[in-house]
Amino acid sequence: MERTKIKELLLAKPGQKVLAKGWVRTKRGNKEIAFIALNDGSTINNIQIVVDKSKIEDGILAKVTTGACIGVTGNLVESVGSGQAVEIQADSIEIYGECDPMRFPLQKKDTSFEYLRSVAHMRMRTNTFGAVLRIRNQMAFAIHEYFHSKGFVYLNTPIITESDCEGAGQMFQVTTLDLENIPRNKKGGIDYAKDFFGKQTSLTVSGQLEGELGATALGEIYTFGPTFRAENSNTPRHLAEFWMIEPEMAFYDIEQNMDLAEDFIKHLVQYALDNCYDDIKFLNDRYDNTLIDRLKSVTGIDFVRLEYTEGIKILEQAVADGTQFEYPVSWGVDLQSEHERYLVEKHFGKPVILTGYPKDIKAFYMKQNEDGKTVRAMDVLFPKIGEIIGGSERESSLQKLENRINELGMSRTNLEWYIDTRRFGSCPHSGFGLGFERLLLFVTGMQNIRDVIPFPRTPKNAEF
């Protein structure tokens, strides 16, 4: 007999013989009857198995413990109990894998997220992580669908690279050199000519620079891939390995870039509400009963668009009125998430797109404004998260770009290919990066970014 997924069984017509397979969530009952809650990951909901103990061997039933993997054949019948439309009356149970209740890491007694991170190889079997990972999957699909429907080309940019796109020096080096015996050049420096690629390479912090090559050939592209940052930030919003979506569009100015970012993120949140409702409802009811309202609140409104300079004025006024921030505020500083959240949550009560940042706190490639001080950057700031998207219009003038590169003292040896976009048929263009896990923090309402990726990588942690 063929197995039917529990998601389908729960919607199926009663009165048929079925086979369900999955992992036991709970077993309870009395002398005559046992009730098993079975889950196979296809949905947050379990199917109830009703066992007439006279029909199933005691030895088999004893092996049906929390965590065990079983297959059940029986009749799908209308459920008399509340909470489910149908249940299975078991004819036979097959045990695929027993699960020793004394040693199973997922016990009722410790379900803190911190503990579950230490058993991340098993935590996907919990309701919460099942819900989060199904939502993650749906969001990935929605992202591809969104860009596909708009005619963007999905471009795969390299993971190993020689350029530091964001210029923050937070790269993980990739090398096959023998660290016990590093080859030296005549000057005593490391002889990278002997390394695998014949030069110094790292894991990418962003696919943008290669994305720009794509956009200035194909028109509109997006990347969606892993990104690596060796920043020693032990916060609930930073990962050393995260996934980023980076659209890059020829002929878009900063306004069109903001329009796209706003439409994109509203579309994704609406998609989640429409397609992940069971999982979101579970997270809403279990952890944060403002989640659904918060999701709905961003889909129907216009985001605020604000100049950095105006934002600083609001924050300075807040300080004058008695608000205490950990980090000081004045024109020129990079905003901390406490500042971003003040603007979004306290001052405006909705998402804010901040533009016109000082050039000194932003990357070299951003289009410079006439004032000589600011650039056409845009950060999308979200409630509970802070920065969820970072982007800009790009500097398209060869001369201005070269001046900025020189001003910052950047090495040009591994950037000439990038500068070629401005040498040959340069065009106005823009793009942005959405942190996939930041989006998931918002959509799931989870508090820690380590809990929206299956296997988080953070300082001193690369287990599993």
Question: Which residues of the chain form contacts with ligand 4AD (CB under 6 A)?
Answer: 165-166, 206, 208, 229, 231, 238-239, 242, 244, 246, 387-391, 431-433, 435, 437-438
Residue 417: CB minimum distance to ligand 4AD, A: 17
d(CA 208, CA 211): 5
282, interface contact from Mg ion, ligand 4AD, none, CB < 5-8 Å by kind: none
Residue position matching structure tokens 């390995």: 241
| Contact call for residues 22 and 96 (beta carbons, < 8 A) | no
123, interface contact from ligand 4AD, Mg ion, none, CB < 5-8 Å by kind: none
Q: Which long-range contacts (CB under 8 A, 24 or more apart) does 111-119 make?
A: 113/447, 113/448, 113/450, 113/451, 116/451, 117/450, 117/451, 117/456
Residue 236: CB minimum distance to ligand 4AD, A: 10
Residue 229: CB minimum distance to ligand 4AD, A: 5
246, interface contact from Mg ion, ligand 4AD, none, CB < 5-8 Å by kind: ligand 4AD
Minimal CA–CA distance to 173: which of 193, 192, 194? 192
Residue 59: CB minimum distance to ligand 4AD, A: 50
| 207 scored as a contact of Mg ion (CB under 5 A) | no
User: Based on CB atoms, which residue is closest to Mg ion, 134 or 238?
Assistant: 238
Max Cα-Cα span within the chain: 85
Residue 362: CB minimum distance to Mg ion, A: 8
Residue 221: CB minimum distance to ligand 4AD, A: 11
244, interface contact from Mg ion, ligand 4AD, none, CB < 5-8 Å by kind: ligand 4AD
Instruction: Single out the segment in contact with Mg ion by CB under 5 A; choices: 3-11, 41-49, 156-164, 385-393.
Output: 385-393
Residue 208: CB minimum distance to ligand 4AD, A: 4
**φ/ψ (deg, to 5) at 95:** -95, 120
- The structure tokens listed for 249 are 């569009």
User: Based on CB atoms, which residue is closest to ligand 4AD, 271 or 432?
Assistant: 432
- Site map (CB under 5 A) of Mg ion, residues 40-69, x = contact: ------------------------------
d(CA 333, CA 22): 53
12 Cβ contact partners less than 8 Å away, ≥ 6 residues apart: 4, 18, 76, 86
Residue position matching structure tokens 């016109």: 356
User: Based on CB atoms, which residue is closest to Mg ion, 274 or 360?
Assistant: 360
d(CA 320, CA 77): 67
| Binding residues among 388-447 for Mg ion as defined by CB under 5 A | 390
User: Based on CB atoms, which residue is closest to Mg ion, 390 or 445?
Assistant: 390
User: Based on CB atoms, which residue is closest to ligand 4AD, 29 or 459?
Assistant: 459
Minimal CA–CA distance to 162: which of 198, 216, 108? 198
Please calculate the CA angle 25-29-33 and round it to the nearest 5 degrees. Answer: 115
Q: Catalog residues that contact Mg ion under the rule CB under 5 A.
A: 390
